[in-house]
Structure 1
């Protein structure tokens, strides 16, 4: 019976890759031993569970690091098994692996000061140091034991690598050799692509730093799941976070007022329920388009439209980012995302003052609901960083009969589950519901086919279905004892498919509805001022009469006196700051344009006719970006009390 061509080469490749996994496991154990007090792992079973979850992150690092080595090992070159070629592979293997591996050892010590794995930002910081040689020498002297451990493990790795020798196979026919090689090549490439992404299932994005927080009971443990090469690789091209220094601190504080302290309302403790509705753009909501000039406009939200008659709504509101996770950080923590997502940057794993932390300090139970598989979209990881007490996903729902087959549990049954879980809770509670069904592939349950208008674009009937799910939720919730003592918020995470040209204009992109409803109808009306997702957090604290100062880049939409209405977002490769009658555009270094708020496509730059009002708006724009970058990079996302 003939052997499979190149079987010895493939065995050697598997052995060498498994060696990398073994040494990544060793360095994870050493990292823990150096930083056990900071990582706070209670039991051996917890430790091994975290190590197990780390395999996905190790896989990504190992494949990135060994990509060229793997490729050269499997190409049908007919010289792969020869001594000279194997010697070349040996040097390539260790040149790449040991360089990446060494970064883990640096974090044995550096972690004590940064409390996070080193990232691209860490390298950027080092780049600015003029005495790199002296710093390295001092590190070598002070932490000689770290270098010793590195060299011991490196030497052991080399010894083990050399133990498996490749013997040249007997020549086989070219068709058999190349046919087998191509088949194995395709299999290995497929596995490598899945390994780099970190998930072989349907997923919206490759795993990133945030996903490590899915598996932890406290935020620090995420760094045990991670490895340093992964942290550097995943943040290599996502660090657009750069400090700017164009205004003094006093100017920034006076223009922006980053620390809010309201005294407008008596202190109360209502329940807070926030619906972040997937892709539920302003365009689709009839109540938010009453003054539209769009010919033959159609909306698809009859229930939200009816609820709006008894609510405070904002018809000129914007998302502060472009993805679902951006919506969560903006709404719950008041942290917008600009060129790059805050949650995918090197900086999300820090103490963050948010609606979660402020309400927990007041005795609230906090929970996050999302009907998708647990951890989807990075919500579980970021939720753990924010400190939610409970996370409810597809796992907790525990009934795949209601699974839509792609994303998660259909909105209608999951919203009913939401209501039942809230009813079990002790008041006061704060709960966030992130919907699922208004998403591609834009399907609705079969039993509702034909019930909702197909509309003009693919998402319209899904919007109708989610609107119906909301109606059913409120029908059930209003019977519960907690309902009357609750403030409800509805907002979209971002926009989606556009039907009308009016919403394709630059200043109408990514507009969202914002609605506040309370059964006592304390807040009712229509507000056409500038509003945005990051305003929801301070508005709720103002409504509740929260008595302490707190960090917020947004403003209260009901009583704010210090900062006029504004919107800040990133689009068309510039920061856009909208306030009053104008829109300012800023490239990160200088103001590049001023436009009338009615110039929806930003076609007529007024910078040469700059007025005092424009100048103030420009200063506020710079103040916002300057403070945003400083607080995120310096890890000052909470009020210092």
Structure 2
């Protein structure tokens, strides 16, 4: 038999063995459904199979992670691959890793009924302080012996089917050159396939799947747990241990420094439309109206339209992002939930009831919609949007015109802005609509027809900022003609910052500086405010503006009417929290304060920790109180 035929047989057997893994994950999903059918609310066999189909992507990622070593050993160009000893070694590698991972699916047949979500690495935090782990495990086996029996039975069947297909021992003794060449090709092809399987595909715009992505495929939140598998949930939350409760002070002390429940009575109840723009990488640095007082030599603005709009708006020129990634910006702005060391949406805890602009405005009769021109589900927005409860999601699929696709991230901003306007024209008022832009993003391209129209500047991003600013101009020009325009509050902010041109924005703290702008066509909101502001303030500000008359969960403050909470900002960078308030900046590493700095010392050059005063002590307590309440509410699922 030729060496080519020899390797083809090995590939066939490898695919068969991986197919078995996929099949038994499907079996585990069937068991999961039957044990928890009353909680999962699946209406038909067809719906179950649809959910199971979407689950294949999550099974694939889990199985590819678990079987990396097995596949590598299977495709290495070794002439002993088919020897009995080598195949016996592969057998043990395959089943040791696979059955350990597979067993976690069976734990969730029972455990799911207690936590209403797939088990994640966070379970280790729950068990950390238990001294009777062996006793707990023994009781589980005794009380739920039938689950253990199912695991043993399916594992035995898996082993039996694995052994049914193999090959006779062969030794390559001729044409070794051909053997090693074909093996190298096989290694590359399988390697690329595995990389694509773990990421989802090889597109630059795609990031590996997270737990919240399961929500992209379902209309009922509980179905996401049927899409998922437990090994995937554990793998994707491994290392996300920053989401655990901390205990810096008593509950009574904490409540002196942090207010996570708000209620305002500053304005009468109204129902204006709300249109929120979260603009990709739209740093404060790029916007002239936000830099008039910075005294930056030779400063150049790349946003002529936003500059003009700012003169008719209420702008906050001392505002900061709470996170550093797009998905951080979404949770911070819409739900008032910042992300620090790890993204909240990638933690074990996003799948819970979350009070947000979506839920509060829906309670007032608003139609809610989310627009993102990227392929549907990109950045995790569709999954998190479903958790928040948006009524409608409009992405590249709904836009349905790939002629306007930028080739990397999504639909160009200008046509997608107009698409949103057209959709809003069909909606009944009041509506709350969020648009997350895509064009001002690396690789910083603009449509060919606009080449040369916008200043190139000193950084690649500058011309794309000019293009997105033009997209805003065109949107407002056309939207101003629509009947809903006059009764709308427009909000513009950024998800995070990007390329830096001026030294002022190289300073550690200013690397998170973003714009926050509120515009009303009737001019009721106008002026410049230099108080500290942050993304999580947008949620309570909107509710204050519309006269929302119920208490709600918010760590931020109303930027237009909160007299009780001192303006502050919290975010995370360089492995430390930064907490700004009053006259000082506090840097905290999660255990101890590492520095105090004058509020104007955005570069953090002069550490004042050795001359600590009363205000600094209060600042430290406020920072710790915020984090204690933050982690407690997230872990204990008290975000509603």
Whether the TM-score (by the shorter chain) exceeds 0.5 is yes
Match of 1:109 in 2: 110
- Residue 43 (structure 2) pairs with residue 42 (structure 1): yes
Match of 1:220 in 2: 222
Match of 2:401 in 1: 399
Match of 1:266 in 2: 268
Which shifted more, 3-12 or 608-617?
A: 3-12
Contact 1:495 1:509 (8 Å CA) reproduced: yes
Secondary structure of 2:323 counterpart = coil
Query: How many angstroms apart in 2 are the aligned matches of 1:418 and 1:454?
Result: 28
- Residue 96 (structure 2) pairs with residue 95 (structure 1): yes
Query: How many angstroms apart in 2 are the aligned matches of 1:163 and 1:124?
Result: 41
Structure 2 matches for 1:433-512, cutoff 5 A?
433-512=435-514
Query: How many angstroms apart in 1 are the aligned matches of 2:158 and 2:124?
Result: 26
Contact 2:199 2:206 (8 Å CA) reproduced: no
Shift of 1:123: 2.1
Query: How many angstroms apart in 1 are the aligned matches of 2:287 and 2:637?
Result: 38
Contact 1:6 1:169 (8 Å CA) reproduced: no
TM-score, normalised via structure 2 length: 0.98
Match of 1:522 in 2: 524
Match of 1:365 in 2: 367
Secondary structure of 1:6 counterpart = helix
Query: How many angstroms apart in 2 are the aligned matches of 1:41 and 1:465?
Result: 46
Shift of 1:346: 1.0
Which shifted more, 585-594 or 346-355?
A: 585-594
Shift of 1:16: 0.7
Secondary structure of 2:5 counterpart = coil
**1:611-636, Cα deviation, whole Å (9 max, x unpaired):** 11111111111110110111111111
Shift of 1:229: 0.5
- Work out which of the residue numbers 566, 575, 578 in structure 2 matches 1:573: 575
Query: How many angstroms apart in 1 are the aligned matches of 2:203 and 2:285?
Result: 33
Structure 2 matches for 1:341-352, cutoff 5 A?
341-352=343-354
**1:536-592, Cα deviation, whole Å (9 max, x unpaired):** 000000011100000001001111122100000001211110011100111112222
Secondary structure of 2:517 counterpart = strand
- Residue 183 (structure 2) pairs with residue 181 (structure 1): yes
Match of 1:134 in 2: 135
Q: In angstroms, what is the RMSD of aligned CA positions?
A: 1.2
Query: How many angstroms apart in 2 are the aligned matches of 1:265 and 1:602?
Result: 39
Shift of 1:39: 1.7
TM-score, normalised via structure 1 length: 0.98
Runs of 4+, deviation exceeding 6 Å: none
Which shifted more, 253-262 or 531-540?
A: 253-262
**1:330-382, Cα deviation, whole Å (9 max, x unpaired):** 00000001011101111111111101001111111100001111101110000
Contact 1:104 1:228 (8 Å CA) reproduced: yes
- Work out which of the residue numbers 610, 627, 640 in structure 1 matches 2:629: 627
Shift of 1:170: 5.4
Secondary structure of 2:122 counterpart = helix
- Work out which of the residue numbers 389, 393, 417 in structure 2 matches 1:387: 389
Match of 2:205 in 1: 203
Secondary structure of 2:186 counterpart = helix
Match of 1:300 in 2: 302
Shift of 1:251: 2.2
Shift of 1:208: 1.2
Structure 2 matches for 1:150-161, cutoff 5 A?
150-161=151-162
Which shifted more, 301-310 or 175-184?
A: 175-184
Contact 1:120 1:232 (8 Å CA) reproduced: yes
Query: How many angstroms apart in 1 are the aligned matches of 2:275 and 2:252?
Result: 36
Which shifted more, 378-387 or 66-75?
A: 66-75
Secondary structure of 1:4 counterpart = helix
Which shifted more, 490-499 or 241-250?
A: 241-250
Match of 2:85 in 1: 84
Query: How many angstroms apart in 2 are the aligned matches of 1:451 and 1:609?
Result: 53
Shift of 1:593: 1.4
**1:427-455, Cα deviation, whole Å (9 max, x unpaired):** 11100011111111111111111111111
Shift of 1:292: 1.6
Secondary structure of 1:554 counterpart = coil
Match of 1:534 in 2: 536
Secondary structure of 2:536 counterpart = helix
Query: How many angstroms apart in 2 are the aligned matches of 1:108 and 1:136?
Result: 15
- Residue 43 (structure 2) pairs with residue 33 (structure 1): no
Structure 2 matches for 1:402-417, cutoff 5 A?
402-417=404-419
Query: How many angstroms apart in 2 are the aligned matches of 1:468 and 1:169?
Result: 67
Query: How many angstroms apart in 1 are the aligned matches of 2:65 and 2:561?
Result: 52
Query: How many angstroms apart in 1 are the aligned matches of 2:201 and 2:533?
Result: 38
Shift of 1:256: 1.1
- Work out which of the residue numbers 260, 275, 278 in structure 2 matches 1:276: 278
**1:597-622, Cα deviation, whole Å (9 max, x unpaired):** 12121122112211111111111111
Secondary structure of 1:432 counterpart = strand
Contact 2:373 2:416 (8 Å CA) reproduced: yes
Query: How many angstroms apart in 2 are the aligned matches of 1:340 and 1:165?
Result: 44
Shift of 1:41: 2.0
Shift of 1:476: 1.0
Contact 1:516 1:523 (8 Å CA) reproduced: yes
Contact 1:239 1:346 (8 Å CA) reproduced: no
- Work out which of the residue numbers 255, 258, 261 in structure 1 matches 2:257: 255
Contact 2:125 2:244 (8 Å CA) reproduced: no
Query: How many angstroms apart in 2 are the aligned matches of 1:431 and 1:616?
Result: 39
Query: How many angstroms apart in 2 are the aligned matches of 1:411 and 1:374?
Result: 16
Contact 2:267 2:545 (8 Å CA) reproduced: yes
Contact 1:8 1:167 (8 Å CA) reproduced: no
Query: How many angstroms apart in 1 are the aligned matches of 2:450 and 2:78?
Result: 58
Match of 1:329 in 2: 331
Query: How many angstroms apart in 1 are the aligned matches of 2:488 and 2:11?
Result: 62
Contact 1:578 1:597 (8 Å CA) reproduced: yes
Shift of 1:594: 0.9
